[in-house]
Structure 1
Amino acid sequence: MLRCGQMMLAQALICRHLGRDWRWNPTEPEESYTRILKMFLDRKDCPYSIQQIAQMGVGEGKSVGMWFGPNTVAQVLRKLVAFDSWSNMAVHVALDNTVVQEDIRKVCCGSRETQCGHASSTQPPSNKSVHETKSDARAESAFTRAWRPVLIFIPLRLGLNEINAVYVKRLKRCFTLRQSLGVIGGKPNHAHYFIGFVGDELIYLDPHTTQPALTTDKWGFLQDEGYHCDHACRMNIHNLDPSIALGYYCHDEADFEAWCKDIQQVIKEQDLSPMFELTEERPSHWPPFDPGQSSMETSFGVLYTTAGVKARDKSVLHVSSKQWNSTSRATGTNDRGSCCTYHNARILTDVYQHRHEGSLHTVASVSLMDKSSRSRIDHENSFINLLVTCW
């Protein structure tokens, strides 16, 4: 997943510095192109190296060597981009399947330091010359309050163990937007970078290719053939792991407004089930927006049910835990339905906390006690687990 995150970010930087219409010319590499590639070399002093990504992942609860999920790699890249004064690009990671336009505007119109609350103390090593650093600083001061290009990550979970079929058409539709950078995801412990589709087959790039690490020669020339491939792979969309992250790049404010308009059209298409929401302002129950805050550090929860329990008429859900003021949503048999439980059932919770995929989860072990029998129902016969996710 680290390599897939690198590929999506590299594509965003290509759009940022060279434009979407740029094409690779191996005989005449452009200066900006070469500079972008050097930022991804496998050296600790390169800003987007795999070493930097792994080290920054520690702040997201991932020790070096642990597998990253789409949300974690998005949060890590958001922090690293904050140190890139040359690109002067904003990164926004959507929370709880909701894209808030107001938050993105704040990130795009703010300075780079607002993206990372600890920029001064955690800045990674730089391989730039003093002249380049001063030049970048002058450029940034002139455009600090102007609209910055933005890379938007939308982490999603489109099912429990496999992708829900109702999202297939919507996912393919997202690839057709002009601002799309593709999708990072894949299979468990086997990540891919998806760049398009043909029918029900996704087109992807596979980073699992062993090759020598690329370096510059004594003249500073970069052997870049390993950054490109002659063919792409395909995989059936129904085999996709449900945990993914969409990527979009908006170059300026007009491009962002056009993207919002296109996304609204996609969401309104009645024959498709929406994968996420686009709102103008933050929901009232959310905490104030902090551009430097990761998903682990926010202080609100969303209540999910993972049970495939059929709801009876007039069923009521009671949660005894006082630790969370949560919004309820079902992710069982009806992904976007109301919470499912039994009529006149009493739910007892036993809460404990653990970390998973860069987010803080609270698992409530739930027992259903029917008034007539008062018998304890086990998992296979309607024992359910409630996941309270603190994004």
Structure 2
Amino acid sequence: MEAVLAKYENQINVFSEFLEDLPDTDEPVWVLGECYNAKTGKTELLSDVHSRLWFTYRKKFSPIGGTGPSSDAGWGCMLRCGQMILAQALVCSQLGRAWRWRAQGGQPEKYHRILHCFLDRKDSCYSIHQMAQMGVGEGKSVGEWYGPNTVAQVLKKLALFDDWNSLAVYVSMDNTVVIEDISTFFSLTCSIYTEHSETTTCPHSQSHSDWRPLLLVIPLRMGINHINPVYIQALKECFKMPQSCGVLGGKPNLAYYFIGFVGEELIYLDPHTTQSAVEAGSGVDDQSYHCLRSPRRMKITNLDPSVALVRSQLYVDGYCPVVDMSHVVVLFKEIQMKRNLRMFELVENHPPHWPPFVPPTKPEVQTTGAGMSIPTRQIH
């Protein structure tokens, strides 16, 4: 098995075409709404990148579903990217965008609570176990590769069980963001959060019942086989917005978590490193959850056109008002007001030709199909 995992990682190193080291350029470097100078602000830039929670393949964790795989190497990269993008939202909500990780320790308690939500154990609310088994309800066997939209649907369902963060995850459809549906979604999820009792390792919080942090995921298709150049500037503009939580995407069967750009290159965190699972406990060693290398980059033109933009509305003391969606409207009109930057539609009302809006419900976590599926495509 170790030899097989090593083979996968060697394939990844060949195909990823990543660019090491930051360029010696005067062009601004944007990372999740923050702008840096690569020459004069390199230390601050690297501190920002290193502070993002980095989730990779793991091995030797308890078998998923009791009898399933004990490693996600070769199939879990999009799930790990989903974990990273959700962790970014939780960090911004609980600690603030200005928070920075320190290798010498001394992190706040909220940081450790966030990290525990993603540990590789069945009772952590956003663990690989929970995500893989929730994916069964989306038609994905445990061990099957996910796309951006599927992992977004899984995160939306798992967030309903998270009492501590009370995060509302809304996933748009058909390249359209519907303000009316988001408002309805808020009012419905309020009762779900207040009724749900704690069943995972994520603890309760005393949040105001009228406020919820919003994570808005917009799955997009920005081309057929390759990204259409008309979308490139719009994609770059998204990374400049302070509400950005990044982009899920990559190449076919090769997922990355994109956090920014410099020039015509995207900056990303790569989950394709297999590490041993970390034992849960009060003193979790968090060194392996932060990528201390120079951030990897790839040319924007190499991006697969199937992506998911992720934005948060976590402000006003950490929460977005349920009844006032004006912040969300302004958020996207900032992009759409610029010529040729329309990647999706923003509408006030639910389109009449669409099926009725389906309220979110807490699904039962599927435990069937826990055995490793036999991939029908090449695994990287």
Say yes or no: TM over 0.5: yes
1:64 aligned onto 2:64: no
Answer yes or no: is 1:160 the counterpart of 2:224: yes
What is the distance in 2 between the residues matched to 1:268 and 1:100? Answer: 17
What are the superposed Cα offsets for residues 133-158 of structure 1, whole Å, 9 maximum, x if unpaired?
A: xx55xx36xx33x1211001000011
- Where does residue 101 of structure 1 map in the other structure? 179
Q: In the alignment, which of 281, 284, 299 is matched to residue 352 of structure 2?
A: 284
Contact 1:185 1:241 in 2 (8 A): yes
Query: TM-score, normalised to structure 2's length?
Result: 0.68
Question: Does 2:115 match 1:37?
Answer: yes
Structure 2 match to 1:386: none
**Partner residue in 2 for 1:150:** 214
Matched, 1:222 2:280: no
Matches of residues 1-40 of structure 1 in structure 2 within 5 Å?
1-26=78-103, 27-40=105-118
Deviation (angstroms), 1:23? 1.2
Aligned partners of 1:40 and 1:46 also within 8 Å:
yes
The AA in structure 2 aligned to 1:126 is T
Supply the AA of the counterpart residue of 2:345. E
Structure 1 match to 2:329: 260
Q: Structure 1 residue 25: deviation in Å?
A: 2.6
Distance (whole Å) between structure 1 residues aligned to residue 242 and residue 184 of structure 2:
23
Q: Is the 8 A contact 1:90 1:150 kept in 2?
A: yes
CA distance in 1, matches of 2:192, 2:117: 22
Q: Does 1:182 align with 2:246?
A: yes
Greater CA drift, 81-90 or 279-288: 279-288
Write the distance in 2 (CA, Å) between the matches of 1:289 and 1:16.
27
- Aligned residues of 2:119 and 2:280 also touching (Cα < 8 A): no
Give CA-to-partner distance per residue, 1:11-70, whole Å, 9 cap, x none.
011111111111113320110100110110111111110011000001101111111000
8 Å Cα contact 1:45/1:124 also seen in 2: no
Alignment partner of 1:238 is 2:306: no
Are the equivalent residues in 2 in contact too, given 1:83–1:112 (CA < 8 A)?
Answer: no
Residue from 145, 150, 154 that aligns with 1:76: 154
Aligned residues of 1:153 and 1:246 also touching (Cα < 8 A) = yes
Q: Distance in 2 between matches of 1:192 and 1:288?
A: 33
C-alpha contact (below 8 Å) 1:109/1:147 kept by paired residues? no
Q: Distance in 2 between matches of 1:13 and 1:48?
A: 12
1:205-256 superposed Cα distances (whole Å, 9 cap, x missing partner): 0000111112235xx2110011111221000000000100000010133796
Q: Which runs of no fewer than 5 residues in structure 1 stay unpaired?
A: 295-391
**Whole-angstrom CA distance in 2 between matches of 1:151 and 1:190:** 24
Kindly indicate whether the alpha-carbon contact (under 8 Å) linking 2:183 and 2:325 is maintained by their aligned counterparts in 1: no
Question: Which 4+ stretches in 1 moved above 4 angstroms?
Answer: 112-115
The higher relative CO (CA closer than 8 Å, separation ≥ 6) is in 2
Does the 8 Å CA contact 2:268/2:296 hold for their aligned counterparts?
yes
Is the Cα contact below 8 Å between 2:258 and 2:268 reproduced in 1?
Answer: yes
More strand by share: 1
Partner letter of residue 232 of structure 2?
Answer: V
2:119–2:278: 8 Å Cα contact kept in structure 1? yes
**SS of aligned partner of 2:211:** coil
TM-score normalised by L of structure 1: 0.66
SS of aligned partner of 1:55: helix
Letter in 2 for 1:236: K
Pairwise CA RMSD: 2.3
Q: Whole-Å Cα distance in 1 between the matches of residues 298 and 174 of structure 2?
A: 27
1:288 CA displacement: 2.2
**1:114, 1:274 → 2: CA distance?**
34
Q: Is the 8 A contact 2:179 2:325 kept in 1?
A: no
Q: Which amino acid aligns with 1:257?
A: S
Task: Please list, as runs of the form range in 1=range in 2, the aligned pairs for 1:264-343 lying within 5 A after superposition.
Answer: 264-270=333-339, 272-292=340-360
- Residue matched to 1:91: 169
CA distance in structure 1 between the partners assigned to 2:225 and 2:278 by the alignment? 37
When residues 2 and 112 of structure 1 are mapped into structure 2, their CA distance, relative to the original with a 3 A threshold, is farther
| Cα pair 2:125 2:158 within 8 Å, conserved | yes
The letter of the residue matching 1:258 is H
What residue ranges of structure 2 are gaps of 5+ in the alignment? 1-77, 363-380
Distance 2:188 2:92 in 1: 21
1:114–1:291 CA contact under 8 A, matched in 2: no
CA distance in 2, matches of 1:8, 1:87: 15
| Distance (Å, rounded) in 2 between the aligned partners of 1:125 and 1:58 | 20
Contact 2:116-2:201 within 8 A present in 1 as well: no
- Out of 197, 201, 206, the residue aligned to residue 127 of structure 1 is 201
Aligned length: 276
C-alpha distance in 1, partners of 2:328/2:238? 11
For residue 79 of structure 1, what is the amino acid of its counterpart? K
